[in-house]
Structure formats: C-alpha cells, structure tokens
C-alpha cells in the first residue's frame, strides 16, 4: 500500500508533522537522520532551511531542496501517530481511494485513461485532490478499474 502525504509542517526541535491522505497525522524526528545522512546536518547550519519543507508533487515524500528529501513511506513507518483527523477532506479522501484502487488494478494513469476515455491529466488532478469529478466520471473510472462504484452515507453519531 502506498501512503501519500497531504500536508507537512516543520515543528520545533527538528520535528516534522505530516498529514496523510487517510487523515492520519504522524510526527517524525529528523534528528535521527543527522548521523546517518550528513546532508541533514545542514538544518543546524542553516536554521531557516528546515522551515521550508514542502510536500513533493503527488505526496510521495517531502523535500527542502534538491539534496534534502524524505519519502512518505519512511515517515509512515517510523513516525509516531499523534492524531487522526475526524473528517478528512472529501477530495483528498477520493484521491487516496482512487490511487489505491488504480494500484490494486495494476494500472498506470495512462492505462486508466485509455480504458475510460478520461484524459490522463484529469485523472492526475483527481488523484492529487484537485479535481471535482461528476458521478458519471466516477462510474467510468470504476468500470475502467474493473470495479463497482459504491457510495455510502454514514451516521455521524
């Protein structure tokens, strides 16, 4: 399963707080990398660099510059779960679900585009949480994945 990051925040004492597409918020201590990867010691030399962290396109990792990056799977595996968002943003939840379904079907975005007649760029937007697909588009995506579209209304309790 691929874990993708939706948002990242630099905290004090070289801690990263990463929000994943499923709503999980994990904290990761960057100091553990200082001895293993000397390039991360740049944070101590250039104090404003650490705060410039950003999510890489697609959410597969985070980076500060061309030399400093960290993949989402490392943060997921070694980070500490500190919070679970009550209601993840629906566009990002849909994005995550589509990505997982496409990976389970072993299809690339291009493959899915060819099967559905939906532009690859539009599939990419949906998978990044930037699209607002219609129900008919979602149905075409499900059919292209060899799946059935299912929509549930759940009580908030």
14-28 residue pLDDT tens? 999 999 888 899 999
* CATH annotation of 90-144: 1.10.260.40
d(CA 144, CA 101): 11
Residue 151 has a pLDDT of: 85
Spatial CB neighbours of 92, under 8 Å, sequence gap ≥ 6: 6, 21, 129
- The number of residues in the chain equals 157
d(CA 3, CA 13) in angstroms, rounded, equals 25
pTM: 0.65
The CATH number that domain 5-84 falls under is: 3.30.2020.10
| Res 156: pLDDT | 67
25 close to 84: Cβ distance less than 8 angstroms: yes
The two tokens of residue 83 are 């919070």
Which residues partner with 17 through β-bridges? Answer: 9, 27
Confidence of residue 1 (pLDDT cuts 50, 70, 90): low
Range 137-156 burial, b when 16+ CB lie within 10 A, else e:
beebbbebbeeeeeeeeeee
The pLDDT of residue 103 is above 80: yes
Write down the domain spans for the chain. 5-84, 90-144
Alpha-carbon dihedral of residues 26, 27, 29, 33, nearest 10 degrees? Answer: 20
Residue-wise pLDDT for 55-72, tens only, equals 998 789 999 998 899 999
pLDDT band at 88 (very low <50, low <70, confident <90, very high): low
Matching fold, domains 5-84 and 90-144: no
User: Looking at the predicted structure, is the pLDDT value of residue 86 above 70?
Assistant: no
Helix (H) or strand (E) holding 112, with range, is helix 109-116
- pLDDT > 80? residue 118: yes
d(CA 100, CA 124): 13
Residue found by looking up tokens 């079907």 in the block: 105
pLDDT in tens, 21-52: 888 999 999 999 999 999 999 999 887 999 99
Residue 157 pLDDT: 63
Residue 4 to residue 97: CA distance in whole angstroms: 11
Query: Does the pLDDT value for residue 120 go beyond 90?
Result: yes
């Amino acid at each position: 399963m691929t874990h993708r990051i939706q948002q990242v925040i630099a905290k004090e004492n070289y801690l990263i707080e990463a929000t994943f597409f499923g709503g999980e918020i994990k904290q990761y201590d960057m100091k553990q990398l200082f001895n293993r990867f000397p390039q991360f010691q740049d944070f101590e030399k250039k104090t404003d660099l650490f705060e410039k962290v950003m999510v890489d396109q697609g959410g597969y990792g985070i980076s500060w510059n061309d030399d400093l990056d960290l993949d989402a799977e490392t943060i997921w595996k070694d980070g500490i779960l500190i919070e679970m968002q009550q209601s993840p943003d629906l566009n990002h939840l849909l994005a995550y679900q589509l990505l997982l379904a496409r990976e389970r079907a072993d299809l690339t975005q291009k493959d899915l585009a060819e099967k559905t007649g939906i532009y690859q760029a539009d599939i990419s937007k949906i998978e990044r949480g930037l699209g607002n697909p219609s129900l008919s588009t979602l149905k075409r995506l499900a059919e292209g994945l060899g799946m059935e579209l299912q929509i549930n209304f759940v009580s908030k309790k």
